[in-house]
Amino acid sequence: MRSRLQGVLPGNGANELIHLLARAMLAPGETALVAGPTYGEYAQACRLAGARVVERRASEAAGFALDIDALAQTVESVRPRLTWLCAPNNPTGADLAPGQARALADLCAAHGGLLVLDQAYAGFARGHGPHDDAPDQGRAHGLLRLHSLTKSYALAGLRLGYLLGEPALIERVAAYQPAWSVSSAAQAAGLAALADESFLRETLPRLWAASDALLAGLRALGLTVRRDALPFLLVRTGDAAATRAALLAHGCVVRDCSSFGLPAWVRVAPRRPEENARLLEAWRELP
């Protein structure tokens, strides 16, 4: 029977934990697998650790849906020491079906590897409760889960994330963490956020309503827009850098997705209705 014990390691944001994981778990020359397109820091941390990085990219033609079967085949062929999977994914919003994380973690473990499941954006999923989680995921052998309070609770300046996994694995990662990594202010804010069960319950419906309106508005402009399990939107413009610069001239900021390997796309986060209306008006004026 698998142990239900879980180790917890707070970190200076999930980004610190990503680098600690790479340093603790990878030896020079070992292989890391990244499910892309996704956050570039997984690959960067692994390369700094001297690892070889293999990417398995989701197909744009398939709407960037996570192809777990293809990912599993890659695990079997390259046998990575670490497999990185962000779900719901940044920037595509693609998510896993129930049970897929556990099955993939078991497969990774069978080939001598670990699955790192980054759930930094899980709190934004539609209908997500303040403490929702998949109860079987943490008991899967060889699964490490990353979480971030800097996203759903808007604590970006304080830098606070945490890593969950088997105690022996957590201890191994913790050995690489500098002393006093997480500030007392971040700890206090994190505890206050987790104790507030009304915040996400009240704000998520408003966020998704804003996303719905923005999705409709962007499509009405004739733009190709994709949205999956998260409220932010991917908009295909052909030249992400040029679009960002043009909108910035109107006082609107969107994310150039070139760093994700998607130079034709920008990521747009819904804001207040009046701010979304300003963005749509600015977009109408673009040549």
In this predicted structure, what is the pLDDT of residue 141?
77
In this predicted structure, what is the pLDDT of residue 222?
97
In this predicted structure, what is the pLDDT of residue 287?
84
In this predicted structure, what is the pLDDT of residue 139?
56
CB-based contact 167:144 (threshold 8 Å): no
What's the rounded Cα separation, in Å, for the pair 190 and 184?
10
In this predicted structure, what is the pLDDT of residue 263?
97
What's the rounded Cα separation, in Å, for the pair 123 and 43?
24
In this predicted structure, what is the pLDDT of residue 132?
46
Domains contained in the chain, CATH given: 7-195 (3.40.640.10), 199-284 (3.90.1150.10)
* DSSP string for residues in 141-210: TTEEEEEEHHHHT--TTT--EEEEE-HHHHHHHHTTSPTT-S-HHHHHHHHHHHH-SSHHHHHHHHHHHH
In this predicted structure, what is the pLDDT of residue 140?
66
CB-based contact 72:107 (threshold 8 Å): yes
Q: Which residue stretches of the chain have pLDDT < 70? A: 1-4, 128-140
In this predicted structure, what is the pLDDT of residue 161?
94
pTM beyond 0.85, yes or no: yes
